[in-house]
Structure 1
Amino acid sequence: MQRFIPVAAVLMLAACGQGANDAGSSGGDADTAADSQTGETTAPADAVVYQGALTVLQGVERDAAELCGVVAESYPPQCGGLPVSGWDWDSVEHDEAEGVRWGSYLVTGTFDGKSFVLTEDPVPTADIDMADYPELQYQDPEIGDPAEDLSTEELQAIADEITAEFPRYVSGGYADDQNGVALIDALLVTPELEAYAAEHYPEDTVVFSSMLKPVE
């Protein structure tokens, strides 16, 4: 049985093993939004720019690098998440084992409805001091007043349903008995995700916590 650990706990994985940068192979990388990974991709004027410190991984059978919300505690690690457009493994330090490439990075970009589009070059988290990015640290989400009183079982069923419906964005969820809400841990809270919750559940019953934060 594989164990799963939060992304924050696997930021140290970059220090495990001696990864090899495969400069001779770039096949399977995500389609780029620009000709190369230069950080010069221009986002639409109304696009929200997000930032986060996350694991990026590309498995053997994946045709794109992906941002990970939860990572399997194995070697090499395993995960699935949001595809990244504009990713070039040749341009970043990374680990590699058994055909899997991964690393921990500060990423900045927009969401185009299908993938995370880089707008700046990714920076290995080993090269930065996360104390300089307090806005990226976990913060308790704002909880309102739920429109209906639901049981623990009902709240957990909501969390499980959202997790199953949006596996690329949502890493899990649980019932918060004290506040009467379903707390959802998400890689990115997309408009689609918010609309789904608003349409299917009582107002203020679902509360999201996002790993990717809007840049203000």
Structure 2
Amino acid sequence: MTIRRSGFSVLAGSALLAGAALLLTSCAPGAADAGADSAPPGSALAALTPEPPTGEVLGQGTVLDDGSSAKLCLGAVAESAPPQCAGIPLAGWSWEGVADAAVMSGSTWGTYAVWGTYDGDTLTVTRAPVPLALFDAMPLPDPTRGEPGTATAADIDTVQSIVPDAIGAAYLGSYDQDGWIHVDVIWDDGTWQRAADQDFGAGKVIVRSALRLVE
């Protein structure tokens, strides 16, 4: 902290000491800076939303069609018949020529690699889907670079209690491994990753996008 000296050449000693004390008091931590870093964890995640991708994306999951509309489920799927899951709407989906589909109780479903454009709500299909049993996915880069994370048990509890509400409907699930907390979302362009680092500290959270840009 820089303290400017008075421009007057003659000051009473007591007045000078009093002025210095007042200046130091006003600069003390917790006075002018109170609340500067008081944002609760999860604030950055809740305040930001990734921009929709500008190119074609690929998603892998369960396509479920109840007879009126189809959706792509990228998260957890209840293993019932027909299955139950939350998903993103599919526009332009057709079962014509699509293999490996099951039909029961008016619903049709199967697991597929699906290409399309995503506007933040709906995935519009751009290519013929491929059954996951026949799909040879390319390996993805390891964001941990083989290094353990620094998340503690307290960090894990905090993140897993805050992140679902902060992200909302785009949240798919989370788990911890080797000091990292993996958070799966429908789509992230890096916005939520940066926000998670800001909220919880770098080296703890990996935000993974289920939809991937097609190179």
Distance 1:190 1:114, change over 3 A: farther
Name structure 1 gaps, 5 residues minimum.
Answer: 1-45
Aligned counterparts of 2:170 and 2:203: Cα–Cα separation in 1: 20
TM-score (norm 1): 0.58
State how 1:39-188 maps to structure 2 within 5 Å: 47-59=54-66, 63-90=69-96, 92-93=98-99, 94-126=101-133, 128=134, 130=135, 133-135=136-138, 137=139, 139=140, 141-143=142-144, 150-166=151-167, 168-176=169-177, 178=178, 180-188=179-187
- In the TM superposition, residue 70 of structure 1 has moved relative to its aligned partner by 1.6
Aligned counterparts of 1:183 and 1:151: Cα–Cα separation in 2: 13
Q: How many residues align?
A: 161
Aligned counterparts of 2:161 and 2:96: Cα–Cα separation in 1: 38
User: Is the 2:151–2:181 contact (alpha carbons within 8 Å) kept by the matching residues of 1?
Assistant: no
Describe the SS at the equivalent of 2:144.
coil
Deviations 1:134-167 (A, max 9, x none): 41x5x473127xxx96531322331343234446
Aligned counterparts of 1:122 and 1:142: Cα–Cα separation in 2: 28
Deviations 1:37-73 (A, max 9, x none): xxxxxxxxx823222432111347x754233322111
Which amino acid counterpart does residue 214 of structure 2 have in structure 1? V
Partner of 2:8: none
Moved more, 85-94 or 48-57: 85-94
Deviations 1:67-120 (A, max 9, x none): 332211112211112222222345635322123221122211222111222221
- Structure ID, larger Rg: 2
**What percent identity do the matched residue pairs reach?**
28
Describe the SS at the equivalent of 2:73.
strand
Describe the SS at the equivalent of 2:174.
strand
RMSD of aligned C-alpha atoms? Answer: 3.4
User: Is the 1:81–1:169 contact (alpha carbons within 8 Å) kept by the matching residues of 2?
Assistant: no
Partner of 2:13: none
